[in-house]
């Protein structure tokens, strides 16, 4: 059911996603547009690479918050439209809002439609829809990052762990959640093509979490 509330929520979700945290933090505190350095993406991974650990963590947390907040706008639409919490219809609204926020991150209206890869925003969406699976993604990310020091590889494997956990561990009865998880894998492969090429060639930058910068 389409209502003025659901349309407004979608617009707000896109605007939330469009907040270019990496660009604004880089320009405000470092005088740098991260899109002009490193991989050229306005996301947490490139912020880690260009500006260091503190800026990278700040951008990552804010991007997660964007996805989480946008997805939970479903609570503001009204039960008469979305149905009860955790129903298939409600979760589908959450997914629609989260995907809209991710599109805002990829193509931000506030930053000339040049955004990041959306991994942190995707995680915020997962956290809102399936928090248990989100915690498994975090565990995967941290373990891979500590072992390899590659933020990109950690993000890729964490993203792939979501649909696997939905299938083999949590077994969500909502089919759209599984389809969303599979679409995450496709999006990750598309947006991380250059990272994957650099990883294969051994040219991907590493992040030392214990080095001060």
**pLDDT tens sequence across 37-66:** 988 889 888 898 899 889 999 999 999 999
pLDDT at res. 1: 55
Least confident among 1-5, 71-75, 184-188: 1-5
**pTM (two decimals):** 0.83
Residue 72 sits at φ, ψ, to 5 deg, of -80, 5
DSSP string, 107-168: S-GGGTT-----HHHHHHHHHHH-HHHHHHHHHHHHHHHHHH--HHHHHHHHHHHHHHHIII
The predicted-structure confidence for 122-152, as pLDDT tens digits, reads as follows 999 999 999 999 999 999 999 999 999 898 8
pLDDT at res. 195: 87
- CB–CB of 17/121 below 8 Å? yes
pLDDT at res. 211: 59
């Amino acid at each position: 059911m389409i209502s003025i509330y659901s349309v407004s929520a979608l617009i707000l979700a896109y605007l939330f996603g469009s907040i270019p945290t990496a660009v604004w933090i880089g320009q405000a505190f470092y005088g740098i547009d991260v899109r002009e350095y490193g991989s050229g993406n306005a996301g947490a991974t490139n912020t880690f690479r260009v500006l260091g650990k503190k800026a990278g963590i700040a951008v990552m947390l804010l991007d997660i918050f964007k996805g989480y907040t946008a997805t939970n706008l479903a609570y503001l639409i009204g039960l008469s439209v979305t149905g009860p919490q955790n129903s298939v219809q409600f979760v589908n609204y959450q997914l629609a809002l989260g995907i809209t926020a991710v599109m805002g991150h990829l193509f931000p209206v506030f930053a000339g439609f040049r955004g990041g890869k959306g991994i942190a925003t995707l995680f915020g969406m997962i956290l809102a829809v399936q928090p248990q699976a989100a915690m498994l993604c975090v565990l995967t990310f941290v373990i891979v990052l500590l072992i390899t020091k590659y933020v990109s590889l950690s993000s890729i494997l964490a993203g792939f762990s979501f649909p696997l956990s939905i299938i083999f561990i949590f077994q969500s009865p909502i089919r759209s959640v599984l389809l969303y998880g599979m679409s995450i894998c496709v999006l990750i492969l598309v947006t991380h093509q250059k990272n994957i090429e650099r990883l294969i060639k051994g040219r991907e930058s590493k992040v030392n979490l214990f080095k001060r910068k």
